[in-house]
Structure 1
């Protein structure tokens, strides 16, 4: 769609989908008033709930979800692309998906993406997470069309798997999305450097809407929503953990320019790994 304005919405989602939906609507409207035609929200826009029983009682199917309904309505009313960074969706098999959803200016669904990489980690100071205990991982990377601009979809912990973003860039993505709920501990250590690295490696913009602050369920997230250009420069940041809207201009031509200067996508080669085993795997440059 040529040059356009993108917004990343920073939230502090609580345990009530209804309250979160009201905050979501207010912030999306603010982003549209500031000229954004692509508006991204963070991971788990609908609710952040640690308790298993409360989570089961709050989440529902896509056709009944309050955030999905609000996103469709706002996209159509405002004539913008609304990207719900993710929300918990009850699948037909009874399992939960950590699902991103992209809606077009007509209110229709352009694409959905289920988070592939589950955040199963043990951090310092006793902080431990097992996302796979609550959610079923996705199996398919997705590149969606924003009226001629290609958008690669990802969610939070996916950021630590560069092969996903490389595959999306090789499929034409000029903008990469990383809506997230990064913990404060990991965010302080790695958030900025990983987002800038994914932009530089792929010659692509990165838009990363984040959760921030102390949430009702006790977790603490880092905030610092970012928009990074294809040369790795931060062009917009919410330099705190409070709810906010950041906006920046996206020029897909800058992605092409960066890739011409450093044509690493084109220069990628297949290779093997010599590890002393009989059958060394063949790796592709696009996924290594």
Structure 2
């Protein structure tokens, strides 16, 4: 098995509350990605933008997007990851899907709903952390506001890759940059952040800053414009860093209740 994970981060504008148009937009972008890429990561709520009006989205759109993700992942022979608005029997979730090329699905519901925007009043919060295995790498996917809470991201599972999909606005982008780097260093893992760009319907501006950091906090990829960002993650970097610097062995012992 390969000890390298080639990733593509799609930093894109989003079309407000229009899943069909966003799927079409991302289909074109994904078609341009080289065939050797293993994992393609999309922003938070990539079919709608960060809407607090999920009732305006047809309930069937969630399953349509999941089917689209399965089809794309299978065709590209690459995993596809991103979060969407999902209507489950009348309850709404900001739900991340990690879809493997064989169409297998893993899900994560956003734990920390963004109270500043009233997300907690509209969407159900998740309660379970997800750590999955893909191509010899253990991956922990989280969503946007989760970035501010290091206990939730704490590397108790010895994962290799921590990733965040987001709609993180420009006025607080310094926090995004700083916390992504911090999460990489404290967890001794690759840390990936995929943000959107452009203006949304509510006038919020997003400046991107999608990035990849290695286990020592070195930035290995970064962008402030609409583009696809590429990076290569190496298992030997994680193994070598942790063998030399055994900081994770000195973690405080505690558990969440």
**TM-score after normalising by structure 1:** 0.83
Name the structure 2 match of 1:77.
75
Name the structure 2 match of 1:36.
37
Query: Do residues 114 (structure 1) and 124 (structure 2) align?
Result: no
Cα distance in 1 between the residues matched to 2:220 and 2:108: 26
Counterparts of 1:234-253 in structure 2, within 5 Å, are: 234-238=219-223, 240=224, 242-253=225-236
Change (3 A) 1:72 1:130: same
> Alignment partner of 1:45: what SS?
coil
2:85 to 78, 85, 88: 88
Cα distance in 2 between the residues matched to 1:209 and 1:27: 15
Query: Do residues 219 (structure 1) and 214 (structure 2) align?
Result: no
1:154-178 Cα distance to aligned partner (Å, 9 max, x none): 0000001111221xx2212100111
Counterparts of 1:49-68 in structure 2, within 5 Å, are: 50=51, 52=53, 55-60=54-59, 65-68=63-66
> Alignment partner of 1:151: what SS?
strand
1:59·1:65 contact (CA, 8 Å) conserved in 2? Answer: no
- Unmatched runs of 5 consecutive residues or more in structure 1: 122-128, 271-283
Counterparts of 1:171-250 in structure 2, within 5 Å, are: 171-187=157-173, 189-238=174-223, 240=224, 242-250=225-233
Cα distance in 2 between the residues matched to 1:51 and 1:194: 25
Aligned residues: 254
Cα distance in 1 between the residues matched to 2:202 and 2:65: 19
Cα distance in 2 between the residues matched to 1:246 and 1:112: 24
Name the structure 2 match of 1:279.
none
Moved over 3 A (4+): none
2:12·2:197 contact (CA, 8 Å) conserved in 1? Answer: yes
1:5-51 Cα distance to aligned partner (Å, 9 max, x none): 111111211221111111111222223x2632111101011102646
Cα distance in 1 between the residues matched to 2:205 and 2:44: 14
Larger Rg: 1
**Displacement of 1:59 after TM fit?**
4.5
**Displacement of 1:243 after TM fit?**
2.5
Measured on the aligned residues, the alpha-carbon RMSD in Å equals 1.8
1:160-206 Cα distance to aligned partner (Å, 9 max, x none): 1111221xx2212100111111011111x211111011001111111
**TM-score after normalising by structure 2:** 0.92
**Displacement of 1:262 after TM fit?**
2.7
Which moves more between the two structures, 257-266 or 4-13?
257-266
Change (3 A) 1:203 1:210: same
Name the structure 2 match of 1:273.
none
Cα distance in 2 between the residues matched to 1:41 and 1:209: 7
1:183-235 Cα distance to aligned partner (Å, 9 max, x none): 11111x21111101100111111121111111234222231111111111111
